[in-house]
Amino acid sequence: MATFEIRRWRQDDFSAGAASRRQCTWGGDGVTPCAGPPAYTVTDRAERRWAACSRHVLSYIDDRLRDDE
pLDDT at position 28 is: 83
With a CB cutoff of 8 Å and minimum separation 6, the contacts of 49 are 13, 14, 20, 41, 42, 43
With a CB cutoff of 8 Å and minimum separation 6, the contacts of 65 are 2
Backbone φ and ψ of 5, nearest 5°: -130, 105
* Nearest-10 Cα torsion for 48, 15, 36, 50: 10
Per-residue pLDDT of the chain (69 residues; tens, 9 = 90+): 778 899 999 999 999 999 999 999 999 887 888 989 999 999 998 999 999 999 999 999 998 898 766
pLDDT at position 69 is: 64
